[in-house]
Structure 1
């Protein structure tokens, strides 16, 4: 399998503060499902936002689909972002608009400013939006306003909006942090299917170790802006959990049923 994403020695510092990311390196192959785990404030969200350059790095390189992301000019960056779908913890939907309108917003990266402002979408784009909503079990919510939906439904709209871009990779920033366990399972099942059946690479930030162990091909553990684990879920040990989560580790291992992970 081809390497789709190569992160090399990336660092990010906000002002005079300590480094949010420090010498971070890893690569992701096409179609792989990778979870990034770690405490709140470990640098997971910063890392995801550096990949699609919502945040600029201070040092290092990010190569996505053979393109060096930090070197891109504005127009090239806009084109690159059509290949990278983003799913947010708090959905980032326009609540007063319908489900279908929110999904079609995922095509704005392909439009001129005027075409986007006027909402000029082709029949093919509309058909694709309907098809994606059908796959995600939202066919009965198509014309509902987004503020009438549950959290789990909103997140599925966010996923459909990302998929209509025809991306090569999805970046999912804590996609289940605001959801109950049942909705969380539905979202993770869909993300796994997107990776397995559509061949789209999925990179997801998670706080829940048990979820990462269940769904991932590979786990990257981050602590204080550094990668402290990069390997298979089946190779993760209690010691690795301690390295990733520090003082929170004992509580997490109890959540896992007190079993000796790995």
Structure 2
């Protein structure tokens, strides 16, 4: 397998000395489905945003597809981001626009500013957007405004927008945190399917341990900005979960105990 992404000793320090990430190192192969789990505030979202440089890491190296992300200038970074799709917890859609218009926004990274402002898309791009929406079961909603959709449908629009970029990798930041269990299952099935049939690498932040264990090829456990587990789902036992979530994991109700049931 080919290594697509390598993080080497990545740290992120905020102004007043708070370390969000501390010496994070791991490599991800092409087509791999990797879940990052850990308590709130562990650094999961920061890590994802450092990979595509929505946030600048303070030190270390992030090598994606042969390029050191931290060294790229603005134009090179724009080009790199076309190959990294991003899926957000709160969808980041333009509610007043239709589903197809939102999906086509995924092509903006390939266009000049003027073409983007004028919404100039080729027939081929429109056809590709339509095909992706069909795969995601949204063909009946193509011309609906996004504010008329359910949360699960909005998240599928977000996935379609990322896929129309023709990415090599999808970064998914808590994509099911706002969804009910049924909508969550649909989203996870689609992401797994995208990874296995299209060969797209998926890195996903999840709160729900059981979901991570079910769908992932690999689990990375993060606590206080450090990687404390990196291995297969089979290797995640109570001891590992306690090193990720703290010694009370599974013993209490509320968020910590609910992680396993979530």
* RMSD between superposed Cα atoms in Å: 1.1
Within the alignment, does 1:31 sit opposite 2:34 as a pair?
no
How high is the TM-score relative to the length of structure 1? 0.96
Post-superposition CA distance 1:193-225 (Å, at most 9, x none)? 000000000000001000000000000000000
Post-superposition CA distance 1:85-125 (Å, at most 9, x none)? 00000000000000000000000000000000000000000
Change beyond 3 A, Cα 1:117–1:254: closer
Structure 1 CA distance for aligned equivalents of residues 75 and 88 of structure 2:
23
Question: For residue 177 of structure 2, what is the aligned residue in structure 1?
Answer: 177
CA contact (8 A) 2:31 2:200 kept: yes
CA contact (8 A) 1:238 1:253 kept: no
Structure 2 CA distance for aligned equivalents of residues 245 and 146 of structure 1:
36
Shift of 1:248: 5.4
Matched residue count: 257
Runs of 4+ in 1 over 6 A off after TM superposition: none
Shift of 1:16: 1.2
Shift of 1:17: 3.5
Structure 2 CA distance for aligned equivalents of residues 106 and 44 of structure 1:
24
Question: For residue 50 of structure 2, what is the aligned residue in structure 1?
Answer: 50
Structure 2 CA distance for aligned equivalents of residues 255 and 172 of structure 1:
18
Give the 5 Å matches for 1:59-98: 59-98=59-98
Give the 5 Å matches for 1:142-157: 142-157=142-157
Structure 1 CA distance for aligned equivalents of residues 259 and 43 of structure 2:
23
**SS at structure 2 position matched to 1:16:** coil
Give the 5 Å matches for 1:147-226: 147-226=147-226
**SS at structure 2 position matched to 1:56:** coil
CA contact (8 A) 2:42 2:224 kept: yes
How high is the TM-score relative to the length of structure 2? 0.96
**What are structure 2's unaligned runs of at least 5 residues?**
none
Question: For residue 110 of structure 1, what is the aligned residue in structure 2?
Answer: 110
Structure 1 CA distance for aligned equivalents of residues 181 and 160 of structure 2:
21
**What are structure 1's unaligned runs of at least 5 residues?**
258-262
CA contact (8 A) 2:4 2:30 kept: yes
**SS at structure 1 position matched to 2:249:** helix
Change beyond 3 A, Cα 1:244–1:255: closer
Structure 2 CA distance for aligned equivalents of residues 162 and 152 of structure 1:
15
CA contact (8 A) 1:103 1:161 kept: yes
Structure 2 CA distance for aligned equivalents of residues 190 and 170 of structure 1:
12
Post-superposition CA distance 1:159-209 (Å, at most 9, x none)? 000000000000000000000000000000000000000000000000100
Shift of 1:255: 6.4
